[in-house]
Amino acid sequence: MNLHRVSRMGVLLCFLAFLSTNLYASQVPGPLVDTEWLKSNLDQVVILDVRNDVKSFDSKPKGAEAVNPCGVGKAKKGPVKVAGHIPGAVLVPWKQVTTKRKVDGKDIKVLLPEKDDFERLMQKSGVNADSMVVITSKGEAVINTALAARLYWTMKYYGFDNVALLDGGTAQWMKDKQEVEYGRSRARKGNFKATAERTEILASTDDVMKLAEGQTEGQLLDSRSTPEYLGLTASGKFVAPGVKGHVAGAKSFPVDLYANSLGVATLYDKNQIQQTSELLGVDTAKPTIAMCNSGVFSSLAWFVMHELLGNENVRIYDGSMHEWSHTGKPVVSMTME
């Protein structure tokens, strides 16, 4: 064979290998990544840090070191407290991730944002159409993980798939003694576009009513706490006054059974979650609508069932108990179903 041709073939093979490596590197390895993977790919990803407590993003810890579960000096013993952010992360204020609308004359909060509004938020956050995105949260508690899961679900709803959650969020990053930055986030405007509206992962009040009445096949999953599910207590922030309990037929699968609620909020192994679901009579392969008080905890339920356990027929009831109760729909209490 001609040596010149062999040489050219070798160059071509090297180029194809290089191209293949770069294409691989441009995709997240799955819906969930750990801190080791993120550290190795820090310069290739857009990190979105969704927080309700926005001041903690750029402020330094006061007094003792923030990461110190065992305590040093006069520091109180306790869980990791997050101050600062992962290098290069962009702050996404939680209040901008959802919106409110009137439903039957009632103001219903924490709903899916309009397409144009979400596009602007992602563009402002530096997300491009070809970005590889990792979403983090403070990670101090399960609610933080649920906020991240809600942003993840919204990106998926609007057609963006190259996205993953950081397991344990920024708290795990700090616990693993990785570098932390302080100060405001800075991002160049991205060209993100909402390319779809995946209504197959969104459920309406009518969908829930039909499921509760046995008109459609599937299961309703309530990811609130057991006391809320039973009607012993209720969220005064979201549930209408005097309403306690759950939608008839809903299975209880509390959100603290998905992720650690006694430390950094890392997700439990999917085999453990599967075993737990079986103990509670929850069929993780069945068509499912997940709900909670406001569609936030149920976003984590959706993430676990749809993304980790592979059930492609899972939807979120966006309005959840907030909409259900304020529009006068019936509930039952003091029963496990």
Give residue 50's region: left, alpha or beta (phi > 0; psi -120 to 50).
beta
- Structure confidence at residue 274 (pLDDT): 96
Question: Per residue of the chain (337 residues), what is the pLDDT tens digit?
Answer: 444 444 454 444 444 343 333 433 489 999 999 999 999 999 999 999 999 999 999 988 775 444 443 333 333 445 688 999 999 999 999 999 999 999 999 999 999 999 999 999 999 999 999 999 999 999 999 999 999 999 999 999 999 999 999 999 999 999 999 999 999 888 999 999 999 999 999 999 999 999 999 999 999 999 999 999 999 999 999 999 999 999 999 999 999 999 999 999 999 999 999 999 999 999 999 999 999 999 999 999 999 999 999 999 999 999 999 999 999 999 999 999 9
- Short-list 208, 47, 221, CA closest to 139: 47
> Exposure of 235 by Cβ count < 10 A (0-12 exposed, 13-18 middle, 19+ buried)?
middle
- Structure confidence at residue 67 (pLDDT): 45
- Structure confidence at residue 16 (pLDDT): 38
Partnered with residue 252 across adjacent β-strands are 222
Judge contact between 78 and 36, C-beta under 8 A.
no
- Structure confidence at residue 13 (pLDDT): 42
pTM, rounded to two decimals: 0.89
> In 10 A of CB 93, how many CB atoms?
14
- Structure confidence at residue 74 (pLDDT): 39
Residue 201: φ, ψ to 5°: -110, 15
Please report the domains of the chain, with CATH numbers, ordered by start residue: 28-175 (3.40.250.10), 199-326 (3.40.250.10)
CA–CA dist 135, 212 (Å, integer): 34
DSSP annotation of 259 reads B
CA–CA dist 120, 193 (Å, integer): 9
Cα 92 to Cα 65, 88, 164, 169: the distances in Å are: 25, 13, 15, 14
